[in-house]
Structure 1
Amino acid sequence: MVRFGKKAAVLTAAGVLAAMTVTGCSSTVDSDKVVATVGGEEITMGVAGFYARMTQGQYETYYAQMMGMTAADMWSQAADEEQTYEEYLKDSILESVENLYLISQHASEYDVSLTEDERKAITDTAEQFDADNTEDAKEYAYGYQKDIEKYLELVTIQNKMDSKMREGVDEEVSDEEAAQKGMQYVFFSYTATDDSGSSTELTDEEKEALKTTAQNLADRVRNGEDISAVATELGYQASDATFDSESTTPNSDLIAAADALEAEGDVTDPVETDSGIYVARLTTLLDREATDQEKETIVEQRRQDQYDSLLEEWRSAAEISVNESVWNKLDFEDLGITIITSEEEDTSESSGEESTEDGTADGTEDASGTAEDSTE
């Protein structure tokens, strides 16, 4: 069982709340082996493997369960025509680690460095991690002190660089660029749901009747009746939405029809889709609150674009090489890692469980850390 204390959880990647349980008996690769070289700086298997195992634990604990399959089955699933999900994620992980090194190499350009307090916190965290875990657990998860210290240094610098790399973008956004319209709409579903929760598709005759109902609502609203009141009378409910021409929710065909309306109060014809029929009334050509929120979104996207552009520029300028023969030896299918949340950890500690088979005694330290930061 790999344990993360509070400081480690705060300083490392999001999602590792307390600990990771290591299962299986897959062989590991020497943590000093070089996985990649970025701008002349070597990335060891210890650093890349530790990040990979943490990421693996997040996916196996949360996503595999959500997908209703075992972790091994999840990793063997095809991500595309050329890669399994394991291969796809491993490529993404290695690129993320490379980016951490690139960001660290450019930190001095932004006057970013680690303070003495930060260095001490990193050392203390790595020492505590080392003390709390068995040799087997550290070997499987690449959790040796020197590798964790390097990883924490990289992540701490990345966190400090994040805002620096996003500074200086144009924060002026016009109403025209960000304009969000408003509408009320009613959806007439082609699916009926009974009291037990079972759903069935309407017959062709029922669909034709529903089209008549939708047209009735559209006509009445055009004649000045309130769309919410008419919808309620007919047994339906009107919903509010803001949108622009690029929106796709609740339905792209509905958006196109509503966006074509020229004046507030105008009503669409019934818009038939595969799942049902929509009717919408344009309530405003400029929703102030939604437009201001969209302005913030646009500015944030500009910051993200600048961040991504800098990384791409640095990647293009740096010489990056990967030792595929080393990285390919890291597998997810044969070595499972499950995250234990702080709540689960607290429960096992309060119950006074005995030591687990992997040699880690429960109830001997604080594992209630919560994640605050995440790497890009």
Structure 2
Amino acid sequence: MDKKTKILLFSIAAVVILIILIAVTPEIVRYVDENRAVAIVNGEKITKKEFTINYRSQINYYGLDKAFLSQKVGDKTYEQQIKENILDSLIIRQIELQQARKRNINLTQAEKKAIDQQIDQYKSDSQSGAEFKQYLQTIGATENEYKDQVIKSQIVSKLYAEVTKNQKVSDAEIEHYYNSHRSDFIEVKASHILLKVSDSKEEAAKKKKAEEVLRMIKDGQNFEKLAQKYSEDENTKQKGGDLGYFRKGQMVKEFEDAAFSLSIGEISSIVKTSYGFHIIKVTDRKQLTLNEVKDEIKSTIESQKKDEYYQSLLEKWKKEAKIKKFEDVLKSVSI
């Protein structure tokens, strides 16, 4: 091969390499940038890409925009506060994943398959599939990156279950809780007549109608028959407005406050809620027995004990961890 041919081939090769470099350089730059650390936890990196996925996911979930994020509360913007909170949660999760690894806690093949099936189910439906695709684009994640986040979340759930499994509840604790919260275990049975308000323009007319119905009741007309005639609650009107039994926390606050303040047979004044105007009649009231709510109380106390114990472990693990944050990388993340 003569000298001119060698020079020509070398030049062609150089041009090809240059074209390849020009083509792949943006991808290389992006890859390097996304793999920068926003934090290092016990020697393990939390990447900018992973942080960005979680950050954009939260921004998307709450529907926040740049105008809101730029607002200040104290000496920080909402954007700074949200970023710091998400980074702290990812640091905690990294610590949890490390603790899970120490205990050989991972997902089974069946559990991983269930995640795949759930994703496939999203994708198979035309509407949810399009929404899922749009969601991935919004948060800047591939399907595998999304799946990785789900797997990590489920591993943490398994860690929680494993380390808290010995937190038990005694009968004495259940009885003490019942005696200390007896008012939480009162049920009232009530009926109501509802005049719905779907537009502020009709509010005055609906209130006037409710007052007329209340006068009829006070004049001695039958509550149940008036409910059948005037109530706009289609689920209860044919039953004379009967709502059945309910406890505190099961109705909107204004309705609940009124119902629990009434004696059996007593009728309320006009009660306004987000649904409209109500007239309420309490038809029964009873105290649930310890035996009726024992399982519920056990579950409540057990959850509290597990949460408190797990929180104490998290504080211990975090205190022992070596954590380094990279604020400059955090600042470079945007929506």
Interval containing the TM-score (normalised by the shorter chain): 0.5 to 0.7
Residue segments in structure 2 that go unaligned for 5+ positions in a row: 1-28, 117-135
Is the counterpart of residue 158 in structure 1 residue 153 in structure 2?
A: no
Is the counterpart of residue 30 in structure 1 residue 33 in structure 2?
A: yes
Is the counterpart of residue 56 in structure 1 residue 56 in structure 2?
A: yes
Aligned to 2:120: none
2:100–2:106 contact (8 Å) kept in structure 1: no
2:54–2:86 contact (8 Å) kept in structure 1: no
1:185–1:281 contact (8 Å) kept in structure 2: yes
1:36–1:43 contact (8 Å) kept in structure 2: yes
Aligned to 2:169: 170
Change (3 A) 1:272 1:113: closer
Shift of 1:86: 4.9
1:188–1:276 contact (8 Å) kept in structure 2: yes
Shift of 1:94: 1.8
Q: Partner of 1:210: helix, strand, or coil?
A: helix
Shift of 1:81: 4.7
Aligned to 2:8: none
Is the counterpart of residue 253 in structure 1 residue 277 in structure 2?
A: no
Shift of 1:325: 0.9
Shift of 1:281: 0.9
User: How far apart, in 1, do the equivalents of 2:98 and 2:71 lie?
Assistant: 33
**Which of the two has greater helix per residue?**
2
Aligned to 1:242: 246
Q: Partner of 2:45: helix, strand, or coil?
A: strand
Among 185, 201, 209, which residue is 1:179 paired with? Answer: 185
User: How far apart, in 1, do the equivalents of 2:58 and 2:326 lie?
Assistant: 25
**What TM-score do the two structures reach when normalised by structure 1?**
0.52
Q: Partner of 1:279: helix, strand, or coil?
A: strand
Is the counterpart of residue 232 in structure 1 residue 228 in structure 2?
A: yes
Greater gyration radius: 2
RMSD of aligned alpha carbons: 4.7
**Residue identity in the other structure for 1:41:** G
Aligned to 1:273: 272
Among 96, 108, 111, which residue is 2:89 paired with? Answer: 96
User: How far apart, in 2, do the equivalents of 1:113 and 1:171 lie?
Assistant: 29
Is the counterpart of residue 77 in structure 1 residue 68 in structure 2?
A: yes
Aligned to 1:310: 313
Aligned to 1:283: 284
**Residue identity in the other structure for 1:272:** V
1:190–1:207 contact (8 Å) kept in structure 2: no
**Residue identity in the other structure for 2:269:** P
Describe the superposition over 1:129-168 as per-residue Cα deviations: whole angstroms up to 9, x where unpaired.
xxxxxxxx99x9587x9x9998688546423202124421
**What TM-score do the two structures reach when normalised by structure 2?**
0.57
Among 41, 44, 53, which residue is 2:43 paired with? Answer: 41
Shift of 1:231: 1.0
Change (3 A) 1:183 1:320: farther
1:267–1:281 contact (8 Å) kept in structure 2: yes
Change (3 A) 1:301 1:114: closer
**Residue identity in the other structure for 1:276:** F
Q: Would you say how many aligned residue pairs link Structure 1 and Structure 2? A: 261
User: How far apart, in 1, do the equivalents of 2:146 and 2:256 lie?
Assistant: 50
1:215–1:269 contact (8 Å) kept in structure 2: no
Aligned to 1:201: 202
Q: Partner of 1:100: helix, strand, or coil?
A: helix
Residue segments in structure 1 that go unaligned for 5+ positions in a row: 1-25, 65-72, 126-136, 333-376
Shift of 1:256: 2.6
Q: Partner of 2:33: helix, strand, or coil?
A: coil
Change (3 A) 1:87 1:157: same
- Higher relative contact order at CA 8 Å, sep ≥6: structure 1 or structure 2? 1
Aligned to 1:329: 332
Change (3 A) 1:304 1:103: same
Shift of 1:75: 4.5
